[in-house]
Each structure stands twice: as structure tokens, then as C-alpha cells.
Amino acid sequence: MTSGSEPTLSRSAARQLLLPLALAQFICSFAGSNMNVMINDMSQDLDTTVQGIQIAITAFLLVMAALMIPGGKLTDLYGRKRCFTVGLIVYGVGALVSAASPGLGVLILGNSILEGVGTALLIPPVYILTTLLFTQVTSRARAFGAISAAGGIGAAAGPLIGGVITAALSWRFAFVFQAVIIALIVLLTRRLHDPLPADPSRPFDVGGAVLSALGLILLVLGILAADNSGWLALGLIIAGALVLLWFFRWIRHEERTGKEPLIATSLFRNRTSNLGLVTQNVQWLILLGTSFTVSAYLQVVRGYDAIQTGVIFTATTVGLLLSSLAAERFARRRAQRTLIVIGFVVTMVGIGVLIALAGTKDSPWAFAPGLFLIGFGLGGMLTPSVNVVQSSFPEDEQGEISGVSRSVSNLGSSMGTAIAGTILVAGLTSGAYAVALGALAALGLIGLVAAAMLPSRLEPAGTPAASPRDLPG
């Protein structure tokens, strides 16, 4: 990347560049969680079931995860800004199709497929352009902090905003809201420029793209099938693992024969980045899994409407906002590893409080302490995890690692919804609610262990990145 000694962007110029990128991450994260509070309204209106809505939500997250790596690669061929703009348009069309959907099939077409494809095209450029446009150590770190915070806030505030819109108008207007935000981002991108020229002559690894997408899809389908057939679920999960192994062997073969694979195998040899990717995956698994679990329980078991459910989730949003606002102060005093470890500990304590209080008390306020702690813990570690991964690679590998990073995060989101939803659909009771949250907490241990194994100081590879204490958390 460019030297940290280059001229710093003015505050106004930085805001103009950062605003559309942060808004894009916000709306995509919002889309992953806002439908959780509409489960009853949508299932009744579209003549489907809770499981049908769960499939639509999970499919949206899964399409993002499956196509994020190819989406990152396409930015090198056609340019970051062009892919960003095309992704916004595809997403906007999908939102309007979803708003007008007469049944579950059209909803899946608009939300799960079109919005999922659009997100896979526009999100990698968000992180690549941030890396390329913000060349100063401090400005780049702050930009990543703002974008990560926007994503976390979008996911956390999705239930509240979606609940308000659904109660005041209809769940369909939540998709109109998304289309309006997309139109605003398109207008704001007029001042956005791409620092690097596109290179259409570069090859695109179609075989690698198909294998990576197929492997991820089979893996999540296996989790979704667990409540219907254990053998089918096991078969799909094994098939997904084998396809992903085939994918890895494929890209190794491409490299050995002098061809350019979808992603370089060297990306998986960086221990620090690998650990950071694990923490990203688990963070989003917990955030989206908890959101789906609590939303479904409140609506189906407690009988709360969309606005009541959304208001309860305000606690998560407040917690995430507070930790995000204090992130820069935290980072001056603590290393990135420390922030991620503390974040996981606070989050898992929050899940324990949520199970202990909300499962035994009838008051809706019993959900607030646990949800607040979950939001506070996640908000404090989302940005450090992104910094750990992105700062581990030089400029010429940013397209690939950005795609991998976003794919891993969205895979976590889809797995969280799939795992929690599978447990809940098997029996929506207080017991199933506690088991689903317990499963998410158990998976959180994996993220905690990975965070504890990160180095105390992060050394950038071929790129000036801030030290752990310089980067905002």
C-alpha cells in the first residue's frame, strides 16, 4: 500500500469518500437482521411458515457468503467502483421485487438471490476502496472502524427499524426503505473514484468460483436439514467439506501450472490472518444467531408484535453504539488481541444472562441486560478483527483477502441463523430457546480461543498498518 507519509485527506473529503461506503455496509447488515422481527407478519401475508422465512433469511446470507470471493476477484477485472455501482443496482432491484412479492418464491428471488448477489458485488469494493483511498495509518484505521461500526449497528438496529416500519406501515416498506437508501448511496458515489485501473485481461477462475460456492452452499444446507433428517444433514455437510477440499486442491493445481486461481493459497498460510478470520466468523454467527433466536421466541412463544420485538432489541443497539464510540479510546490502551478477547468474554456473559433472566421472567425488560452485554461485547471487537485480517496483506492481495474476509463473515451469519433456526423450529419452547443460545455460546468459545492465540503485536506484511495500540477498536 501507499506510504503513510502521503498527504492526509481533509476531514470533508474523507467524509465524502467514507459516507457511501459506510452506508453500503450498514444497509447490507440491516438486510440480514431486519426480517427477524417480521416473521409472523411475513409468514401470514405470504402464506408460509416460520421455517419458510428462516430459509429466505439464511439463503440471503448464504448467497452473500458463496459469492463474496468471486465478487472480490471481479473487482480486479472490472474495477472497484464499477462493481460497487452494479452491485447497488442489482441490490435495489432485489429490494423492490421483495417489496412486491406475492409469495415465498418471489421473496426468495428478490431478497435471497438478487439482494444476495448485489451484496456480493458491492461489499468487497467497500473494503478494498477503503484500503486504497485512506493511505494514512490513522485515517485508514478510523475508516475501517466507521465501516465496521456501521455494519454492526445495521445488524443490531435492523430489528428496531424493521419493527417500527412494519408496525407503522407494512413489512413491505422495510424493503422500500432499503431501495431508498441504495438510491441515496448511488448519488453519493458520484464523487467516489477508483485509484487503480481495471484489468479485464486478467483471467477469472470459473472452476474455483463454482467449487467454492457449491461447497459453502452444501455446508449450510446440511445444517438447515438437521431438523428433518439427521442422515441427510450429515451427508450434505460431508459433501460440502469434500467439495471445499476439492476447491483447495483445485487452486493449488492452478498455481502449480502457472495459472491464476480464484484466490492464492498463500492467503491461508498467514497464521494471524487465519485466526482473525475465525474471530470474524464467530462474531457474526453469534450476532445473527442471537437476533434470530430472540426474535422468533418473542414473536412465536411470547406473542409480541414487530414493534415490541424491535424495541427490546434497542438494548443491543445501545450496547454496540457505546462500545463503538469508545473504541478508539480502548485501542490506545489495549492491544487488538486484548480487545477481541474481552469482547468475546463480555458477549458470552451476555448470552448467559439472557438465558438466566429472559427464560425465567415474563417481563420483556428481562431481555435488556443480556442483549446490552452482547451488543457491547460485539461492538468492541468487530473492528479489531477486520484490522487484523486486512493489515496482514499487501496492496496487491487486498481484492482477494477482502473477498475471503467478507465471505467468512457472511458464512458465519448464515450459519448462526441456520443453527439457531434449526434448533428452534424443532420445538419453539423456552427449552429450545435456551438450547439455541447455549449452542451459540459454545461456538463462541472457538472465537475466544482463536483470539487468545493472536500475537500481542501485529506486524503488517508489505503495508504500513497501525500498531495494535494505534488502531481504533
Whether residue 103 has pLDDT greater than 70:
yes
CA atoms lying within 13 Å on the CB side of residue 173: 9
Residue type for 313, please?
Answer: F
Give residue 34's pLDDT band: very low, low, confident or very high (50, 70, 90): confident
Give residue 2's pLDDT band: very low, low, confident or very high (50, 70, 90): very low
Average pLDDT of the chain is 82
Give residue 408's pLDDT band: very low, low, confident or very high (50, 70, 90): confident
For 168, left (φ over 0), alpha (ψ -120 to 50), or beta? alpha
Rounded CA separation 305/163 (Å): 8
Whether residue 429 has pLDDT greater than 60:
no
Percent of residues, the chain, with pLDDT higher than 90: 26
pLDDT at residue 331, as a whole number:
65
Residue type for 302, please?
Answer: R
Look-up of cell digits 423450529: 425
pLDDT at residue 7, as a whole number:
46
pLDDT at residue 228, as a whole number:
66
pLDDT per residue as tens digits for the range 287-324? 888 888 888 888 877 888 878 888 888 888 888 888 87
Give residue 463's pLDDT band: very low, low, confident or very high (50, 70, 90): very low
Do residues 95 and 358 touch, judged by C-beta distance below 8 A?
Answer: no
pLDDT at residue 5, as a whole number:
39
Whether residue 6 has pLDDT greater than 50:
no
What are the grid coordinates assigned to 350, written together?
A: 451476555
Residues in CB range of 366: below 8 A, 6 or more apart: 357, 358, 360
% helix, strand, coil for the chain, step of 5: 80, 0, 20
Whether residue 272 has pLDDT greater than 70:
yes
Secondary element (H or E) of residue 247: helix 230-256
pLDDT at residue 473, as a whole number:
30
pLDDT at residue 472, as a whole number:
28
Rounded CA separation 467/470 (Å): 5
pLDDT per residue as tens digits for the range 104-114? 999 999 999 99
Comparison of pLDDT for 96 and 144, the residue scoring more = 96
Rounded CA separation 326/472 (Å): 9
For the segment 353-377, the average pLDDT, to the nearest whole number, is: 84
Rounded CA separation 280/152 (Å): 12
Full DSSP string of 277-297: HHHHHHHHHHHHHHHHHHHHI
Domains plus CATH for the chain?
Answer: 14-204+262-452 (1.20.1250.20)
For the segment 436-465, the average pLDDT, to the nearest whole number, is: 79
**Vertex 22 angle, CA 205 and 463, to 5°:** 60
Whether residue 361 has pLDDT greater than 50:
yes
Helix (H, G, I), strand (E, B) or coil at 392: coil
pLDDT at residue 460, as a whole number:
52
pLDDT per residue as tens digits for the range 53-89? 878 888 887 888 788 888 878 888 888 889 999 999 9
Secondary element (H or E) of residue 410: helix 398-425
Of 1-10, 134-143, 299-308, 439-448, give the lowest mean pLDDT range.
1-10
Do residues 17 and 191 touch, judged by C-beta distance below 8 A?
Answer: yes
Rounded CA separation 239/290 (Å): 27
pLDDT at residue 27, as a whole number:
92
Do residues 426 and 298 touch, judged by C-beta distance below 8 A?
Answer: no
Among residues 381, 377, 379, the alpha carbon closest in space to that of 334 is found at 381
Of 72-76, 131-135, 368-372, 431-435, give the lowest mean pLDDT range.
131-135
For the segment 429-445, the average pLDDT, to the nearest whole number, is: 84
Whether residue 464 has pLDDT greater than 60:
no
Rounded CA separation 450/430 (Å): 31
Comparison of pLDDT for 87 and 329, the residue scoring more = 87
Rounded CA separation 384/152 (Å): 13
